[in-house]
Amino acid sequence: MNAPDYLLNVWKRFDGFPMETLTKVWAKKQRSVSQMREDQIHYGITGNCFDLSIWLLNEFKEEGIKAYPIGHHLHSKHAHAAIIAEDERGRRFLCDLGDQWLKPILIDVKDQEYTNEMLGVFFPAADIRVSQVENNLQIEYFRPSGKVSRQIYDASRVEESSFCSAAEYSQQTIHPIPLLECRCPYKNEIAHWEFYGWKSFLSTTEGLIDDPDLHSVQEWTARINKKTGFNTVFLNKVLEIYKNKIFD
């Protein structure tokens, strides 16, 4: 179910990249890959699922790897974006930086290396199982608490012009609650840290670990900076916008 090394080598360039919606209120439009690279160098910032997918797609193309965008609920507030990359044998791998997967996974259920067993090491703090439901891809997530959740992907190609249009729509659709997710080391695993609703917590194979409550933008700026390395001036500015709900 693992991707070949040449595909993984591209994916690993994004290992330290969180998924976040903070940049939406700062950039106010869909950024080019060159702009995203520059912003990451200067401010440490990354972007939402569309930003990360567009950037990853560009990296695959530069390495000569066949890849294309996918998504669901495009042009809506529930949109999600990811990438499918193909190896030299034409096998397809789901590459989802927006949900902070640890690595790509094989989705061709007829391939001899496919298994419908529960698998670890692909997703933080959960085992996963890949299956096909009608013409769609289903991912099941098995949490340490016993909770099971499911996500359905339409793995068919989205034309890049339509994908870019959906990305721009997403950039203009500001949810009033900021979100940031990142992968971070915890003991002997890579866990998942999330900031949402002015609370934060760590998802691990031991269960959820809640962070102490904070009460000011300055405190949140310090905590998020420690987790991500994002520029503190940037963080303070965008968090003030979200706190005061000034979305012009």
**From the CA atom positions of the chain, what is the Rg in Å?**
18
140: tokens are 């099941």
Annotated domain spans of the chain: 5-244
Which strands sit side by side in the sheet containing 67-72, from one edge to the other? 67-72, 80-86, 92-95, 105-106
What pLDDT score was predicted for residue 247?
61
**pLDDT tens over the chain, length 248 residues:** 999 999 999 999 999 999 999 999 999 899 999 999 999 999 999 999 999 999 999 999 999 999 999 998 999 999 999 999 999 999 999 999 999 999 999 999 888 999 999 999 999 999 999 998 888 899 999 999 999 999 999 999 999 999 999 999 999 999 999 999 999 999 999 999 999 999 999 999 999 999 999 999 999 999 999 999 999 999 999 999 999 887 66
Which contacts qualify for 103-109: CB closer than 8 Å, 24 or more apart? 103/2, 103/3, 103/8, 103/11, 104/3, 104/7, 104/8, 104/11, 105/1, 105/2, 105/3, 105/130, 106/1, 106/2, 106/3, 106/130, 107/137, 107/155
CATH of 5-244, one of 3.30.530.20, 3.40.50.2300, 3.40.630.30, 3.30.2140.20: 3.30.2140.20
